[in-house]
Amino acid sequence: MPPVLSALHILHPRLSLYVKPLFLRKFPLPRRSVPINPRTLSSVASAQSSTENGDSRGRSGSLSAPPSLLEEAVQKIDVNPPKGTRDFPPEEMRLRNWLFHNFREVSRLYGFEEVDFPVLESEALFIRKAGEEIKDQLYCFEDRGNRRVALRPELTPSLARLVIQKGKSVPLPLKWFAVGQCWRYERMTRGRRREHYQWNMDIIGVPEVTAEAELISSIVTFFKRIGVTASDVGFKVSSRKVLQEVLRCYSISENLFGKVCIIIDKIEKIPMDEIKKDLKSVGMSEEAVEDLLRVLSIKSLTKLEEILGGAGEAVADLKQLFSLAEKFGILSGFSLMHQLSVALPITLGFDREGKLRAICGGGRYDRLLSTFGGDDIPACGFGFGDAVIVELLKEKGILPELSLQVENIVCALDGDLQGAAATVATILRDKGQSVDLVLENKPLKWVFKRAARINAERLILVGNTEWQRGMVGVKILSSGEQYEVKLNELE
């Protein structure tokens, strides 16, 4: 038998039945000098001897390394997840499930249906929306069919693809939501990872600002559910239409609009002198730059309306949005702030202390579908990441305490009663109750510690005398009350 196979055979005798065909050739392991502990060698020899002598005590799957593997040890792998990604051990998974439950519950309250898409999509789908520069942020590769694919960095392109695919088979409007994992290779900061989960809510087929008002209301409802208040967060609302009206007032040509928007969008990120310099570099006069920046600082819609002469649908849409926000009850608890210095047509959720990046963001994408070859349909939506909101909850000290909770712990007082304990566990599970069945013969002291760790409500003891009478012992762990109950009356 080849040396590698014999080592595997020692680790798990039955494994050789399945791996023989794979070891027709010898694959030498890299030789490394490793310190050998005599105790380890003696325990390995003992385990090998027990196996050869047919002693099956202990766990058959235990990984006690034989001497052959100790001599040619394999280097231990890095046990940390890839940079920018996360493990979800039980305590983190409970938090994630709690957050996702609130995402889904708010979506349900607003009548949205859940959808999902492949994590792996065509690379072209994202390049078509964001341009070639997105390639630097994609986890992309060529699959075995010579197709360029990528892990999705966002959900909206997949949503657009699905809407086009469904065509007229689905009646409008569509109110869809998704909670999905996204991947983006970028510089990491607090609340920004290379892998995150995102909650999206989208309304397809409604051109009116009632859609935006509904979406903002849903975000507010979510904040209220998890304990985030108006003193913690606020909303910045911008309108591309209003910005176009402002630029038109200062005779800024249409071909400069895109460049000016990109510069304006940096107002809160770089010094004002650099903003002025950049605006002049695209062809704006010094007077026009000063006037534009003065107007952009206006927060009052009334004053803005005076400058624009009250004309056009741009300001009218914003006024309607604020009016609807009041009727939704948003303004009674959360502030909605108009901000022209955000060039994109978005609603942005931010923390008031300014310690974190945007909590959520969204807007209208009426012309997105034609980017992918479909017919344009009015659409708007938002994205809400899991990482930043968790950081905010930590910052405010309002992360929920989510401990493991099991209703019953069932224990056999004798090893011969393990089957009886399994019967009791099955009866309770069939009735919808959670049960932690003690699978080994453990002392009661261990069982009580286990019950405390999992926050069990009651302990079910299966003893020989009680079982012969068709009964089990019950202990209510919160009060210490004890009693016996017939098996068929156990609830």
Which of 343, 358, 375 terminates a domain? The answer is 343
pLDDT at 295: 77
pLDDT at 12: 43
Look at 49-58, 127-136, 390-399, 410-419 and tell me which has the smallest mean pLDDT: 49-58
Q: What's phi and psi for 312, nearest 5 deg?
A: 85, 160
Q: Which long-range contacts (CB under 8 A, 24 or more apart) does 247-253 make?
A: 247/292, 249/295, 249/307, 249/308, 250/284, 250/288, 250/291, 250/292, 251/288, 252/284, 252/288, 252/292
User: What is the 3 state secondary structure string of the chain?
Assistant: CCHHHHHHHHHCHHHHHHHHHHHCCCCCCCCCCCCCCHHHHHHHHHHHHHHHCCCCCCCCCCCCCCHHHHHCCCCCCCCCCCCCCCCCCHHHHHHHHHHHHHHHHHHHHCCCEECCCCCEEEHHHHHHHHCHHHHHHCEEEECCCCCEEEECCCCHHHHHHHHHHHHHHCCCCEEEEEEEEEECCCCCECCECCEEEEEEEEEECCCCCHHHHHHHHHHHHHHHHHCCCCCCEEEEECCHHHHHHHHHHCCCCHHHHHHHHHHHCCCCCCCHHHHHHHHHHCCCCHHHHHHHHHHHCCCCHHHHHHHHCCCCHHHHHHHHHHHHHHHHCCCCCCCEEECCCCCCCEEEEEECCCCCCCCEEEEECCCHHHHCCCCCCCEEEEEEEHHHHHHHHHHHCCCCCCCCCCCEEEEECCHHHHHHHHHHHHHHHHCCCCEEECCCCCCHHHHHHHHHHCCCCEEEEECHHHHHCCEEEEEECCCCCEEEEEHHHCC
**Dihedral (CA of 171, 176, 182, 184) sign:** positive
Q: Residue 427 sits in a domain of what CATH number?
A: 3.40.50.800
pLDDT at 333: 59
pLDDT at 248: 76
Confidence of residue 14 (pLDDT cuts 50, 70, 90): very low
Please tell me whether residues 247 and 339 are part of one structural domain: yes
The 10s digit of each residue's pLDDT in 63-116 is 555 655 555 568 889 999 999 999 999 999 999 999 999 999 999 999 999 999
The 10s digit of each residue's pLDDT in 309-354 is 655 566 778 888 888 888 888 876 566 665 554 433 455 666 677 7
Query: How many other β-carbons are positioned within 10 Å of the β-carbon of residue 491?
Result: 7
Contact 87, 111 (CB under 8 A): no
Q: Indicate if the pLDDT at residue 221 is higher than 60.
A: yes
Q: Indicate if the pLDDT at residue 49 is higher than 70.
A: no
pLDDT at 363: 87
Number of structural domains in the chain: 2
CA distance 159 to 205: 13
Q: Work out the average pLDDT over 226-253.
A: 79
pLDDT at 247: 76
Which of 319, 343, 367 terminates a domain? The answer is 343
Q: Indicate if the pLDDT at residue 195 is higher than 80.
A: yes
156 is in an annotated binding site: yes
Higher-pLDDT residue of 177 and 321 is 177
Higher-pLDDT residue of 8 and 181 is 181
CA distance 449 to 41: 34
pLDDT at 40: 43
Question: Does residue 52 form part of some domain?
Answer: no
Scanning the structure block, which residue is given the tokens 């099955």?
426
- In sequence order, what are the residues at sequence separation of 6 or more whose Cβ sits closer than 8 angstroms to the Cβ of residue 230? 333, 334, 335
Q: Indicate if the pLDDT at residue 447 is higher than 70.
A: yes
198 is in an annotated binding site: yes
Question: Does residue 466 form part of some domain?
Answer: yes
pLDDT at 2: 45
Q: Indicate if the pLDDT at residue 411 is higher than 70.
A: yes
pLDDT at 19: 41
The 10s digit of each residue's pLDDT in 340-389 is 544 334 556 666 777 777 888 888 899 999 999 999 999 999 999 999 99
Question: Does residue 296 form part of some domain?
Answer: yes
pLDDT at 34: 44
Q: Indicate if the pLDDT at residue 434 is higher than 60.
A: yes
Percent of the chain predicted with pLDDT > 70 = 79
Q: What's phi and psi for 303, nearest 5 deg?
A: -65, -35
Q: Work out the average pLDDT over 456-474.
A: 96
Please state at what angle helix 257-264 crosses helix 272-281, rounded to 10 degrees: 170
Question: Does residue 257 form part of some domain?
Answer: yes
Q: Indicate if the pLDDT at residue 24 is higher than 60.
A: no
Q: Work out the average pLDDT over 159-165.
A: 97
pLDDT at 188: 82
Q: Work out the average pLDDT over 428-432.
A: 96
pLDDT at 76: 87
Question: Does residue 30 form part of some domain?
Answer: no
Question: Does residue 123 form part of some domain?
Answer: no
155 is in an annotated binding site: yes
pLDDT at 262: 80
pLDDT at 345: 43
Q: Which residues pair with 485 in a beta bridge?
A: 472
What angle (nearest 5°) sits at the alpha carbon of residue 362, between those of residues 357 and 365? Answer: 140
Question: Does residue 285 form part of some domain?
Answer: yes
What angle (nearest 5°) sits at the alpha carbon of residue 147, between those of residues 143 and 153? Answer: 80
Please tell me whether residues 245 and 326 are part of one structural domain: yes
Cα distances from 181 to residues 96, 290, 389, in angstroms, run: 12, 44, 15
Contact 295, 260 (CB under 8 A): no
Tokens of 230: 């108006």
Question: Does residue 231 form part of some domain?
Answer: no
Q: Residue 293 belongs to what domain range? A: 239-343
Please tell me whether residues 243 and 339 are part of one structural domain: yes
Higher-pLDDT residue of 410 and 258 is 410
**Dihedral (CA of 425, 426, 428, 434) sign:** positive
CA distance 81 to 92: 15
Give whichever of 29-33, 311-315, 486-490 has the largest mean pLDDT: 486-490
State the average pLDDT for the chain: 82
Q: Work out the average pLDDT over 25-49.
A: 44
Q: Indicate if the pLDDT at residue 126 is higher than 70.
A: yes
Q: Indicate if the pLDDT at residue 149 is higher than 90.
A: yes
202 is in an annotated binding site: yes
Q: Indicate if the pLDDT at residue 470 is higher than 90.
A: yes
Which of 317, 343, 369 terminates a domain? The answer is 343
